[in-house]
């Protein structure tokens, strides 16, 4: 009888522990100042377009004044600074599953932009208006 009483005394602790362990580990709380995944995807799409433009058109040197001016314009467009962008990248890099979902959106956005530029027949400069 004593073992039964003891079991019922610790049963609530066991149930409580099991309930806590079943909590979803996929939920990530976003700290203050961190962009939402949708917003971060838009920023990253613009960053990658800027990097591609710099690499293939403007300059290979990221210290080039015109490239730096382009980055400043990009940060202003998204209400960011270089430091806040770096903080956001640090957060997302520490959450790889979340970063992966952001990059799925980036790829989708870049593919959409490419389709708009290529037009209905896939020819450059034939975008519909």
Instruction: Name the packing angle between helices 65-77 and 37-53 (round to 10°).
Output: 160
Domain hosting residue 95, numbered range: 35-129
Q: Is residue 105 part of a domain?
A: yes
Contact between 78 and 43 (Cβ < 8 Å):
yes
Q: Is residue 25 part of a domain?
A: no
Q: Is residue 82 part of a domain?
A: yes
Q: Is residue 4 part of a domain?
A: no
| DSSP 8-state secondary structure symbol assigned to residue 31 | P
Q: How far apart are CA 39 and CA 78, in angstroms?
A: 9
| 129 residues of the chain, pLDDT tens digit each | 566 666 556 656 565 555 555 544 567 888 999 999 999 999 999 999 999 888 887 555 556 678 889 999 999 999 999 999 999 999 999 999 999 999 999 999 999 999 998 887 766 665 554
Q: Is residue 93 part of a domain?
A: yes
Q: How far apart are CA 65 and CA 63, in angstroms?
A: 6
Model confidence, pTM: 0.70
The domain tally of the chain equals 1
């Amino acid at each position: 009888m004593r073992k039964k009483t003891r079991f019922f005394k610790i049963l609530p602790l066991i149930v409580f522990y099991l309930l806590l362990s079943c909590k979803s580990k996929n939920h990530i709380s976003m700290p203050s100042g961190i962009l939402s995944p949708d917003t971060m995807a838009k920023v990253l799409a613009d960053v990658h377009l800027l990097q591609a433009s710099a690499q293939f058109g403007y300059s290979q040197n990221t210290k080039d004044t015109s490239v730096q001016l382009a980055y400043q314009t990009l940060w202003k467009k998204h209400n960011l600074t270089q430091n806040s962008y770096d903080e956001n990248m640090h957060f997302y890099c520490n959450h790889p599953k979340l970063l992966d979902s952001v990059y799925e959106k980036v790829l989708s956005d870049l593919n959409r932009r490419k389709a708009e530029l290529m037009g209905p027949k896939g020819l450059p400069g034939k975008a519909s208006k």
